[in-house]
Amino acid sequence: MPNIILNKRKVLDYLGKEISDKELIEKIPMLGTDLSAVTDAEIDVEIFPNRPDMLSEEGFARALSSFLGIRTGLRRYAVKKSDYKSILEKDAVKIRPFVANAVVKGIEVDDYTVKSLMQMQEKLHTTQCRNRKKASIGLYDLDTITFPLTYKAVDSSFKFRPLGYDNEMTVKQILEEHPKGKAYGHLLAGPKYPIWIDSKKQVLSLPPIINSAETAVTEKTKNVFIDVTGTHKQTVEQTLNIVVAQLADMGGEIYEVKVNEISYPKLEPLSMEVDIADANRRLGLKLSGSEMAKLLAMMGHEARVKGDVLEVLYPAYRTDILHPVDLINDISIAYGYDNFKEEIPNVYTMGEESYEEILARKIAEVCVGFSFLECYNYHLTNVDEEFKKMNRKAEKYIELANAKNENYNIIRNSLLPGLMKVLSENKHYEYPQNIFEIGRVVFPDEKSENKAREELHLAVALCHKNADFSSIKAVAEAVARECGKKIDVVEEKDPAFIGGRCAAILLDGKKIGVMGEIHPLVLNNFDIELPVSALEIDIKPLGD
């Protein structure tokens, strides 16, 4: 969970009411956050990842104000018409396809405010934006910019002066030498790179890496231009809403920006219905619809009773509202967990660890004993990374219907591509890099009730100058030996591995995995410069 340090004086000023430390210590955890400390000057709090709108004094005070009954109900933000325009060129859109912009004027900025904005920006990048992959935020001094703006693609030789530097650098130099370039350069594969440029050819930024020095927000800034670019449309739009709401709460006025004729920000409240009986059943309460509406107002919503349901309007910056159960959760928070009566469940069960978890832990201990690092990758991926980069034919996979993000549109059926991606993104660390993952993969299966079959796999990847077939074979044998099994190997053909240096792993004559030296074409696809030997095994048979 992200930890943030809030200026207590600013929070109280936004609340418009003096609150004692005792009441803050009592009430803040009830809002659904983890309070670390309240001092004379600061509030140290951990914000749950589902509430990125609370990652600033303004957002935190907004939520706390409603919860304490100081200013309840839905906050509405007016967006003024304007002539501001951004033009998106096709080459740039191919790189980071989704863009949303806004302008906020008339904010009061001092040195602390600039630092607060930077803290909020980085916390959002880490959480909501998934380390800038799904989205990245740019904040600029509006008065240094001339509209219309253009989002275009340039070569690696293109030059501008990045934030914090006195001299111009090429895009290539920024990605290789600048701290932000080293940290996030893997998000831009090249050979073209997106930049923002204004009508006077002044560079604003190289998203998602770094802004230019000329357009930086300082303590003299009064008007701000915000841009969010990314690979996930919903995240881009929601992130813009969070930032704009914060700036508006600082006293700013919001102005629209037309991005290829689509107006942003989209701050109109969203709507959802909550079944009153279902809410009471889930919570074990007997609240009326009007009582629930009052509780929802304490969480920043607006609700009215319509028959057996509540029609709820909720803010566009509340990224956590995905289903009526999320609004029911808000009802429970406002009701107060300390007000729920304790009851002993009318069931009796005894839990125990599943044998698969015991087996997985045993195998993980073997890998850790080899000094391997454990990885946890996403279960969702895409055809390019799962198959094309691995030099494999795209088959036996389950595709998501109506996927909102092209990077996560299928369920993985192999762990190895994820480990190769980890190696690709960590080339700046020292070698050897020996990693493993134990996780579930999914295959289509018409015989199964839900038409899918899960398997629990182990994958290991060894990356160093001496990585070869013998080294990965030793790992496979050690894992089998720890499970009381003996494996055999026979030559196998798998396009992800070098021919003649690839083997099927057999247990009692049945294939349970594959291992070998990764093919140079695959290494090149992942931009890995050292040899890699790897294995992947279905571990369930090892425990039978």
In a domain, 350, yes or no: no
pLDDT in tens, 110-153: 888 888 899 899 999 999 999 999 999 999 999 999 999 999 99
Confidence label for 11 from pLDDT (cuts 50, 70 and 90): very high
List the one residue out of 416, 397, 401 whose CA is nearest residue 457.
416
Tell me how far apart the alpha carbons of residues 436 and 488 are, in angstroms, rounded to a whole number.
Answer: 21
What's the confidence (pLDDT) of residue 351? 84
pLDDT of 485 strictly over 90: yes
Q: In the predicted model, is pLDDT for residue 404 greater than 90?
A: no
Residue the block writes with tokens 């494996």: 487
Q: Are 302 and 385 in the same domain?
A: no
The last residue of one of the domains, among 67, 94, 114, is 67
β-strands 224-230, 135-141: how paired? antiparallel
Verify that 260 and 277 share a domain, yes or no.
Answer: no
Q: Clarify whether residues 320 and 427 are in a common domain.
A: no
What per-residue confidence (pLDDT) applies to 456?
A: 96
Out of 294, 314, 339, pick the residue that ends a domain.
339
CATH code of the domain in which 157 resides: 3.50.40.10
| One domain, residues 322 and 211 | no
- Please name the amino acid found at residue 81: K
Asked if the structure places residue 179 within a domain, the reply is yes
Residue 477: pLDDT band (50, 70, 90) is very high
Q: What is the pLDDT of residues 352-365, one digit of tens each?
A: 888 899 999 999 99
Average pLDDT over every residue of 435-452: 93
Rounded CA-CA distance 202/25 in Å is: 48
Residues 61 and 113 placed together within one structural domain of the fold: no
Domain assignment present for residue 183? The answer is yes
Q: What is the DSSP track for 173-234? A: HHHHHSHHHHHHGGG--SSSEEEEE-TTS-EEEETTTEEBGGG---TT---EEEEEEES-HH
- Compute the distance between CA of residue 504 and CA of residue 48 in angstroms, rounded to an integer: 45
Whether residues 317 and 359 share a domain: the answer is: no
Whether 242 contacts 52, CB under 8 Å: yes
**Amino acid 422: pLDDT:** 97
β-pair partners for 534? 461, 516
At 155, the pLDDT band (50, 70, 90 cuts) reads very high
Tell me the mean pLDDT in the region 392-421: 92
Reading phi first (left if > 0) and then psi (alpha if -120 to 50, else beta), residue 337 is in: alpha
Q: How confident is the model at residue 240 (pLDDT cuts 50, 70, 90)?
A: very high
CA distances, 479 to each of 215, 361, 460, 487 (Å): 56, 12, 11, 10
Order of all β-strands in the sheet with 203-206: 210-211, 203-206, 193-197, 149-154, 85-88, 257-259, 262-264
N-to-C CA span, the chain: 38
Q: pLDDT band at residue 26, thresholds of 50, 70 and 90?
A: very high
Assess if residue 348 is contained within a domain. Answer: no
Domain that holds residue 179: 79-264
- Give CA separation, 480 vs 201, 243, 475, 506, 537, in Å: 62, 52, 9, 11, 10
Establish if 465 belongs to a structural domain.
yes
* Residue 319 placed within a domain: yes
Report how far residue 83's alpha carbon sits from residue 404's, in angstroms, rounded to the nearest whole number: 30
- Report the pLDDT value the prediction gives residue 229, as an integer from 0 to 100: 98
The verdict on pTM exceeding 0.85 is: no
The pLDDT tens digits for 159-215 are: 999 998 999 999 999 999 999 999 999 999 889 999 999 999 999 999 999 999 999
Cα→Cα distances 1→45, 115, 137, 234, Å: 10, 20, 20, 22
Rounded distance between C-alpha atoms, residue 447 and residue 325, angstroms: 33
328 and 195 fall within a common domain? no
CB 130 within 8 A of CB 234: no
Same domain, 34 and 128: no
φ, ψ for residue 39, nearest 5 deg:
-115, -175
Instruction: Looking at the structure, tell me whether residues 127 and 144 fall in a common domain.
Output: yes
227-247 mean pLDDT = 97
Residue 158's pLDDT is what?
97
The answer to whether 512 and 537 are in contact (CB under 8 A) is yes
Predicted local confidence at residue 87, as pLDDT: 98
Same domain membership, residue 51 and residue 83: no
d(CA 331, CA 309): 14
CA distances from 56 to 13, 43, 249, 300, 323 (A): 14, 11, 11, 16, 25
Q: What's the CA gap between 166 and 392, in Å, rounded? A: 47
Q: Give per-residue pLDDT as tens, 310-353.
A: 999 999 999 999 999 999 999 999 999 889 988 887 777 888 88
Structural domains counted in the chain:
4
**Which pLDDT value is given to residue 348?**
78
Q: What is the CATH number of the domain that holds 25?
A: 3.30.56.10
At which residue do the structure tokens 């706390």 appear? 64
How many other CB atoms sit within 10 Å of the CB of residue 297?
18
Looking at the chain, the whole-number percentage of residues with pLDDT higher than 70 is 100
Each as own residue / partner, the long-range contacts of residues 448-455 (CB below 8 Å, 24 or more positions apart, any chain) are 452/398, 455/538, 455/540
Q: How far are the Cα atoms of 64, 284, 329, 346, 389 from residue 343, in angstroms, in the given order?
A: 30, 10, 19, 9, 54
Q: Mean pLDDT throughout 428-435?
A: 94
* Rounded-to-integer distance, Cα 94 and Cα 109, Å: 36
Q: Tell me whether residue 346 is in a domain.
A: no
Mean pLDDT computed over 92-114: 93
For residue 347, tell me if it sits in a domain.
no
- Say if residue 442 is in the same domain as residue 535: yes
Q: Is the pLDDT of residue 420 over 80?
A: yes
* Sign of the alpha-carbon dihedral angle for 352, 357, 363, 367: negative
Q: Where are the alpha helices (DSSP H) in 415-509?
A: 416-424, 469-482
Buried b (16+ CB within 10 A) or exposed e, 95-128: bbbbbbbbbbbebebeeebbebbebbbebbbebb
**What is the C-alpha to C-alpha distance for residues 29 and 331, in angstroms, rounded to an integer?**
16
Point out the domain boundary residue: 296, 312, 339. Answer: 339
Q: Out of 221-235, 338-352, 485-499, which region has the weakest mean confidence (pLDDT)?
A: 338-352
DSSP secondary structure code for residue 536 in this structure = E
**Count, residues in the chain:** 544
CATH number of the CATH domain containing 362:
3.30.930.10
Domain shared by 392 and 416, yes or no: yes
